[in-house]
Structure 1
Amino acid sequence: MCSRYRDYTVVIDAATTHTATLIFLHGLGDTGQGWSRAMAAIRPSCVKVVCPTAETMPVTLNAGYRMPSWFDLKSLDIGGPEDEEGIKSATTYVHSMIEDEIERGVPANRIIIGGFSQGGALALYSALKFPQRLAGVVALSCWLPLHKSFPAEVRCPTDLPVLLCHGDCDPVVPYKLGQMTASLLKMILKDFEFKSYRGLMHTSSDEELSDVRQFVHSKLPLI
């Protein structure tokens, strides 16, 4: 599975000496190309951007239509069924990407994992299940998968920095899911921030990207 993902990974090299990495996961039906330019525009010059593309698969929520998806989405209802096997398999892949960067000489505390919607959900879950302290997590318009397994299943240090962002008019991933995720993360993590955006639907905005830029620059300063 990993090799199939890597065939469609967008990598933007650091503009200066590479000392940090930002891995960003797209949302349902998108590709790595969709977020690569936006992430490259807000990174410090020492940061390499890695944007993989999910495998194409049937998605239950979309009547079985095949599209790039990190795992099967069965429902976005609170308490609805989840693809536990798929979520855990995708998490193994994300962990392998992180470990690849560590093997290349980038320490875990110089790696940020992020994502939008389904990609943000996977990034958040993967970071909480990773035993080393990452530089941070950027989770946009998303939720925490398999939330009932937390805090018991937390493997990360509790000082993991997380920025959770959500529009209050999101018609796809309800704002209430973002609020519930924020409430849970506040009980788990010491360095957590939840930002909401008035009138924002299931997309990003200049204001949100500015906040993400500030977070990334603060967690991955130039060396």
Structure 2
Amino acid sequence: MSLGPLHVVKQSNKLCSGAVIFLHGSGDTGQGVLNWVKFLVGDNFSLPHVKFLFPTAPLRPYTPLRGELSHVWFDRLDITPEVPEHEETLNSVGGEINKIIEDVVKSGVPLDRIIVGGFSMGGALALHTGYRYTPGLPGVFTLSSFLNKNSLVYKELKSKETKLFMCHGDRDTLVPIEWGIETYKELDKLGIDVNFNRFKNTMHELKKREILDLFEWIQTIIPPLPNDN
């Protein structure tokens, strides 16, 4: 199942030496989460040497919506960590994200300077991408995300070197912070270098401080190179 439109925010320098693939949450689009980020940090947000890619999930039947069509990366049996993962749709969309990564590499950005992350369901897919599908990425980030218990990420971990930046609101009622903490603990036990950040009085949403902290982390993982300007 093919993806929807891809939106790109180019680096402000002439040369691009890093890339971030930002995956939206369920029911959203690449343009939607891009607009959300712009609203929080300004219309002209950019990093000097990094381009941002905002893909859109395929339109597919989504079980939690009683099978109605929605822009979701993969299907879920329910929005809870207690159910098994939907392996078929996960693996299918994982292949599509890999194609985007391959295209970025062909454009001249090496794999070890590409970060994948996302909000909610997008963050879950980013974990599968960085730790199962595409070992060798320098970093992954999740914003208000979780993995199911007995996740394939835990069973098929292929990269312990990929660093992880996690954020979660302490008033999130859709994805309770306890689910995020449990995911953090499981990945930490497996040897992943995890930076977990709790945001007070925050629900299932993005916050300006969260995005600014994320940008700072991105620049520590893929810092500018001497010839970027």
- Work out whether 1:8 is the aligned partner of 2:5: yes
Moved more, 95-104 or 112-121: 95-104
2:127/2:153 contact within 8 Å kept: no
Listed as ranges, the gaps of 5+ residues in structure 1 are none
Question: 2:126 is matched with which residue?
Answer: 123
2:171/2:201 contact within 8 Å kept: yes
2:85/2:151 contact within 8 Å kept: no
Q: 2:215 aligns with which of 204, 210, 213?
A: 213
Q: 1:25 aligns with which of 11, 19, 23?
A: 23
Residue deviations 1:118-141 (CA, integer Å, cap 9, x gap): 111101111101453212111110
Pairwise CA distance, 1:154: 0.8
Pairwise CA distance, 1:150: 4.4
- Work out whether 1:149 is the aligned partner of 2:152: yes
Question: 1:136 is matched with which residue?
Answer: 139
Question: 1:56 is matched with which residue?
Answer: 59
Pairwise CA distance, 1:78: 2.8
Distance 1:25 1:150, change over 3 A: closer
Distance 1:81 1:151, change over 3 A: closer
SS of the residue corresponding to residue 129 of structure 1 reads helix
**1:58-207 correspondence runs (5 A):** 58-145=61-148, 147-156=150-159, 158-207=160-209
- TM-score for the superposition, normalised by structure 2: 0.88
Pairwise CA distance, 1:205: 0.9
SS of the residue corresponding to residue 155 of structure 2 reads coil
Taking the aligned partners of 2:44 and 2:133, their CA distance within structure 1 comes to: 27
Residue deviations 1:58-116 (CA, integer Å, cap 9, x gap): 21111222110111122122322431111111111112211221122211111010100
Pairwise CA distance, 1:199: 1.5
Listed as ranges, the gaps of 5+ residues in structure 2 are none
The number of residue pairs the alignment matches comes to 219
